[in-house]
Every structure is written in structure tokens, then in C-alpha cells.
Structure 1
């Protein structure tokens, strides 16, 4: 048995275990909110965790000082729950993120948030959810900026299309070979449009789980629609930035620089 470590106290946490959705027949879905001191209103970044749609938690972060860095830069951070693939198939995960966006926007004044400056930061599988939510959101679910860390862009082309037990197949309810239209529907690459928000793609050049070419191809598709898409290669890094020669905190700061530019 492997035991996860005791979590460190989260010094920046201001609102814990906020219930944002109660889907019938499922557990309540929560978010934790970290808000900078002061009157605001502050832009907010929704953190969407990875884990292959099968594992993970809203409290898992790659940069252990992620919240401290973002709050110090003047950004609120919302750590968002979503149902995993063995709890519910897609698009439940997208609905869960949309519910969090709606809840935060509805309570923006009380929470000292700026409803016109909402961003998402999704890592790996969470990046697929974050990207599609941003590309399809309108009105009270609209997103103004997107950061993706090593996220898949096209589920319709992943290997082992006939395997019902690979994680994207479990997410979509069966072998991808039988669900090509649905896989495209769930893929950021096939949802790009000219009104999409600006993107920053941060991706390891040696990623064997989600190849770097996923990021460059997605960037080309966005740019072809006239959408800003910056790409930050992490030289020599694999998935989850393993083997990176830069400290992961510098990538968090690069994301804050991008948000400073596009949300000003």
C-alpha cells in the first residue's frame, strides 16, 4: 500500500469546500478558493488537475508553491473538482467545470472576483477539459484566457483505438474506433473558432505521454483562426515536466506573465 503524504497547510486558502454543483446521484462537487488580500476585484484562475481522467484531486498541484506565486501576482485561484471517468463519462467533466465557472461568476462580488477576467489552467487530462470549456463557453460560462500544461488536443488520433480499457476510451464510454465523431467533439483541436480566447501552451519537448507535436499542431489550428496562441517549450522535459532543467515555478510565473498581458 502506498500512502500519500500529509498535505501541507495551504496558507493562501480563503474559502474551502465550496459546493458548486450537486449532480443527481453523484457526490457534491467542490472548489477551494484562494483570494489575494485587498478589495479587488481580482482575476481568477481555475486550476483543473490532471490524472488521465481516472485519478487526481483538486488539491494536487505540480508546483508546490503554485497558489503562493499566483496570489502574490494578484490572481485568485479556484481549485476545481470534476467527476472522474469511472464516476461519469464525458461530457460530465465539462459540465462540472462549467458549474464552477457559473458559481464563481454568480458570487463574484462577494468573493472579490472580476467576472470579466476568468482564466483556466489545465494540466494533462485537465487541460482537455479546460480547453473545451474555454472554447465552448459563452455568457456566464465564458473564459477569457487559457493556459494548458502538456494537454492532449486530439482524442480522435490517440493510439490503441480499439482498446476499450485505455483511459480516453473509458472517458468516452467505449473504443475510440467506434466513437470517432464523439472523440472529435471532445477534442480541443476540433472546437477551435475565431472568437476563442488566447492560449498559452506549456509542453515538454520529450513528452512521450502527450507528444509535443500535440501542442504545436493545436497552436497552428488556433493561429489559423486568428487566435493568439503562445507556445512555451520546456526543453528535455517529459510528461508532468519530468526531467526539466528549469524549476517548475518559473513556468507558473510565465503563465502569470501571459495573463498579465492578455487580461490587462
Structure 2
């Protein structure tokens, strides 16, 4: 619970835990939460590159990271009997596909540690795209653009698809992979989000519940992307940590 080193997992890297805060780009630091530690869990932040390479590179980075954790659990001083995944925006999209694609060995990738399972037991998805084929092609609105670095000032589906089409585009969409044995999902999304529309989480929630999977959708009334305009983000962090803790028991 006290390791402060950076651990590498293929092209991704684990960052040490930290307190929840907002970065200069407006994104939320929540992966290294003291809330999770209080529940007895070890939070590790996976740093992925966005934009990333073509194809399922981001997903394969995440899968490699989970495999790395399982292969090195003893050295890291952690238990990987149960693993949860949480992400926001593009990270929410990645953890959603990660959680839903354990039955797709063709999406696994071969970099990093090969062999251990990359499956996770619960997913918390904050305002992540769910169906890239229905995402509007709009650049970030001014209030969001002001918080983003230049390389992210493009429509989010362009960041995530990098020229994908047809089956490859479908494979990059969480809704494609929904099955009855999907892990529990918590979806938290601002109803006034102009970058990733709230309807994206509604669509994924509907698909999960229709399949008989466990899913909860929490609308954040009037909030934009990165919960802009919402005055209790800490409460959403706490809600998410509690959901993770309950699912990982």
C-alpha cells in the first residue's frame, strides 16, 4: 500500500498514488484516491497516450497493464484476485472496452507480459464515449478547449479512431462488446456535456441492462465535460470509490 515507484507495463506506465485534484488541463486526478486506500485497496494510475497509435493500441496498452499487475503482484505487494478499472473521457472509453472485451482474444495484443488474464471485475466510466459511430464530430467547446493541450483540440472520436472504419470501428466501441456476463458498470456523466453527449452513457447503460448485466447510470444534472459547473466533484469521487469497493469485496 505504500509503494511510490513508477512501474512500466509495455508502453504504458503506472504512476504512484496521489490526492484527488484538478490538473492544469482540467482533467481530474482520481485514480490514486485516499478513498480507495481507506477501503483497503491499492490504487494505481495507468498513464496512456492520447492520441495513441492506430487500431486498438490504447486498449492493448490497458490490457498489457492488467497482465503486468497480475504477473508482478507479489513484487508489487498487491493482490490481483479482483481488479477494478476507472477512467474519465477517453480513459472512460478505454476502461469500458477493457471491461467488456475479455472474450475477444483477437484484441488482446502481445506486447508486455503475455499469459495472465486482462479481465477486470468492475468498471467505473466517467463520461466516456460508448458508440463511436454515433459520436458527433464536434471540436471541444470553448470552456473545455481552454483546459486542454493543443494535441487534444480535435473531435474526441478522431482521437480514438485514428482512421478506423467498419468492423475495426465497431471493435473500438464499448457497446459492441456487451454480453450478459459483463462486469458491474457505474456510469457517471454530466447531462450538459457538449463534448461527449450524455446520450453516450445512456446508450451503454441501456445495452448493459438489456443484456442482463449490472449497471448504474448517475446523471450529473447541468454538468458539462469534466463535470464543469458541478460543485461537488469530491462527492462523485467518493461515490465511485464506494462503488468500486462494494464490487471488489
**What's the TM-score once normalised by structure 1's chain length?**
0.74
Q: 1:1-264, aligned counterparts within 5 Å? A: 14-21=3-10, 28-34=11-17, 62-63=28-29, 67-85=33-51, 87-137=52-102, 140-160=117-137, 166-174=155-163, 179-245=165-231, 247-264=232-249
Going from structure 1 to structure 2, the CA distance change for 1:71 and 1:216 (only over 3 Å counts) comes to same
Extract structure 1 runs of 4+ deviating beyond 3 A. 63-66
Going from structure 1 to structure 2, the CA distance change for 1:208 and 1:32 (only over 3 Å counts) comes to same
Answer yes or no: is the 8 Å Cα contact 2:32–2:43 preserved in 1: no
SS of residue paired to 1:243: coil
Q: Which stretch shows the higher mean deviation, 60-69 or 188-197?
A: 60-69
Going from structure 1 to structure 2, the CA distance change for 1:185 and 1:134 (only over 3 Å counts) comes to same
Cα drift, residue 184 of structure 1: 1.4
Cα drift, residue 149 of structure 1: 0.5
Separation in structure 2 between the aligned mates of residue 109 and residue 61 of structure 1, nearest angstrom: 32
Answer yes or no: is the 8 Å Cα contact 1:150–1:202 preserved in 2: yes
Answer yes or no: is the 8 Å Cα contact 2:189–2:198 preserved in 1: yes
Q: Give the count of matched residue pairs.
A: 217
Going from structure 1 to structure 2, the CA distance change for 1:64 and 1:105 (only over 3 Å counts) comes to closer
SS of residue paired to 2:82: strand
**What's the TM-score once normalised by structure 2's chain length?**
0.78
Separation in structure 2 between the aligned mates of residue 201 and residue 226 of structure 1, nearest angstrom: 16
Higher share of residues assigned strand: 1
Q: Which residue of 1 aligns with 2:110?
A: none
Cα drift, residue 13 of structure 1: 6.4
Answer yes or no: is the 8 Å Cα contact 1:63–1:252 preserved in 2: no
Q: Identify which of structures 1 and 2 has the higher relative contact order when contacts are C-alpha pairs closer than 8 Å and 6+ apart.
A: 2
Separation in structure 2 between the aligned mates of residue 183 and residue 147 of structure 1, nearest angstrom: 22
Separation in structure 1 between the aligned mates of residue 202 and residue 215 of structure 2, nearest angstrom: 10
